[in-house]
Amino acid sequence: MVTTRSDLVAAARELAGELLGFDSERWRHTAGVAERAAELAPAVPADDLELLVAGAWLHDIGYASTLRVTGFHPLDGADGLRDRGWEPRLCALVAHHSGARFVAEDRGLGEELHRYAEERSALADALTYADQTVGPDGRRMAFEDRIVDMLRRHGPNSPNARVHPRRGPYLAAIAGRVRTRLAVDGAPPTGEVPS
């Protein structure tokens, strides 16, 4: 049973490993996002850090075959967490990570996704920024390169490509806000050399 915030992170990591497989490429991406999220501590309220890292561990569990219902991983992941009794705020963060609503609406799943309240906060921004600065294999990527790589992998006829004129600026605005929060707090964004 999850009783403390540090238990929450450990339980999130364990569930992600069970569902994704501890030696899968998806696990390497997930572990990279969790590590990145922890580094974004200066960009979130201290009380939200554990929830951020737990969300990072769980954000892609919807790719697990055992959770697959709609085939849209943010929704399948959020539903899987909800069904297991995880806290509503965490379920909603998973549901809405990385601008999921744009793709959900394109795929006719907007109504289902919007059963989860979309949180607009430094925490939600940091989760998306962490996801969008770690590649599929777990390696760090610049935000801009990650977007280009995502569009190349999904292809020009994909929902991701179709919604990109709206989702792209939404994600870029998040990246801008997180970078500003990191800089304001005196820590230059990882991998970026201050001028």
Q: At its nearest, how many Å lie between Fe ion and the CB of residue 4?
A: 26
Does an H or E element contain 13, and which?
Answer: helix 5-20
Neighbours of 65 (CB within 10 A): 7
| CB nearer Fe ion, residue 22 or residue 185 | 22
| CB nearer Fe ion, residue 17 or residue 183 | 17
Position 79 contacts Fe ion (CB under 5 A): no
> What CA dihedral angle connects 140, 119, 2 and 38, to 10 degrees?
30
Q: At its nearest, how many Å lie between Fe ion and the CB of residue 133?
A: 10
DSSP 35-91: HHHHHTGGGS-GGGHHHHHHHHHHTTGGGSGGG-SSS-HHHHHHHHHHHTT--HHHH
Q: At its nearest, how many Å lie between Fe ion and the CB of residue 179?
A: 19
| CB nearer Fe ion, residue 164 or residue 188 | 164
Contact partners, residue 149, CB within 8 Å, separation at least 6: 135, 136, 141
Out of 52, 54, 55, 60, which residue is the one contacting Fe ion (CB under 5 A)? 60
- The DSSP call for residue 117 is P
CA 63 to chain centre: 13
Position 125 contacts Fe ion (CB under 5 A): no
* Total of chain residues touching Fe ion, rule CB under 5 A: 2
Q: At its nearest, how many Å lie between Fe ion and the CB of residue 194?
A: 28
Position 131 contacts Fe ion (CB under 5 A): yes
Of 17-25, 55-63, 78-86, 154-162, the segment contacting Fe ion by CB under 5 A is 55-63
- The DSSP call for residue 121 is S
Write out the residues near Fe ion by the rule CB under 5 A.
60, 131
